[in-house]
Amino acid sequence: MTFPDEKFADAGSYTGAYFAQINAAAASLDMDKVAQAAQILTKIYASGGMVYACGNGGSAAISNHLVCDHCKLVQTDTDLTPRVVSLSATVEMITAIANDISYDEVFVYQLQTMAKPGDALITISSSGDSENIVRAALWAKENGLPVISMTGFSGGRSANIADANLHVTADNYGVIEDVHQSLMHILAQYVRQAHMGEEVIQQRKF
C-alpha cells in the first residue's frame, strides 16, 4: 500500500492525510545521522572545502536551493564562509555531457573535473538509486570525499554508499521531497546558529 491508496472526497481531507504522512516521515529520521551530516558540513565549511550537491527533477530544485541557504545564509553572522556548488544547476555542462557521453555521467564528470580532497558531496534522490547519483557517490567515496545522501523509498544504492544517509521512510515523492527540503533548511540553520552568539540569535529571524 502506498499513499494515497484511496480517492479523497475533498482537498481538505487530503491535506490532513498528507501532513500526517509528512509527520510520520520526519519521525522516521535517524537523528544521529542528521547530527553526523551537520558535523561533516561544519568541518568542510570551516576548512574552506567545497560542498557539491546534486539531484534530479524535484531533487535538483532542492540541490539548487541548498546553494542559497548554505552558501549565503550560513555565513550571515558567523565566521564561516561556505563554498557550495549545485551540479544540477550547470545546464550547459549537463546537456553537453548527456549529449556527448551519457546522462549517467552528468554529475560524476563534473566532480572529476572540479572536486578534490577536503570537499564533500550531498546527493538528493527519493529512490536513492538514480544511476547518475550512484556514480557520483561512488566516485566521491573512492576519492576520499565524505558523502551525505538524502533518500526515501527503500534507500537504493546511494544509501549504502553514504557516510551519513538521511533516510525518509515514505513512499510518496512529494512527502519525501518535502522532508528532504526541510533537512536542507535544518542543516543550514543548525550550522549557522551553532556559530552565532546567543544574543545575536535572539535578534535574528531564521
> Three-state SS string across the chain, please?
CCCCCCCCCCHHHHHHHHHHHHHHHHHCCCHHHHHHHHHHHHHHHHHCCEEEEEECCHHHHHHHHHHHHHHHHCCCCCCCCCEEEECCCCHHHHHHHHHHCCHHHCCHHHHHHHCCCCCEEEEECCCCCCHHHHHHHHHHHHCCCCEEEEECCCCHHHHHHCCEEEECCCCCHHHHHHHHHHHHHHHHHHHHHHCCCHHHHHHCCC
pLDDT on residue 93: 97
Task: Say if residues 128 and 151 touch (Cβ distance below 8 Å).
Answer: yes
CA dihedral 111, 112, 114, 115 (to 10 degrees): 70
pLDDT on residue 49: 97
Distance between CA atoms of residues 191 and 70, nearest Å = 9
User: The pTM is what?
Assistant: 0.96
pLDDT on residue 139: 98
What are residue 83's DSSP bridge partners?
50
pLDDT on residue 134: 98
Looking at domain 30-203, its CATH architecture is 3-Layer(aba) Sandwich (3.40)
Per-residue pLDDT tens listing for the chain (206 residues): 799 999 999 999 999 999 999 999 999 999 999 999 999 999 999 999 999 999 999 999 999 999 999 999 999 999 999 999 999 999 999 999 999 999 999 999 999 999 999 999 999 999 999 999 999 999 999 999 999 999 999 999 999 999 999 999 999 999 999 999 999 999 999 999 999 999 999 999 89
pLDDT on residue 117: 95
pLDDT on residue 4: 96
pLDDT on residue 14: 98
pLDDT on residue 55: 98
pLDDT on residue 29: 98
pLDDT on residue 108: 98
What are residue 121's DSSP bridge partners?
52, 147
Task: Say if residues 172 and 178 touch (Cβ distance below 8 Å).
Answer: no
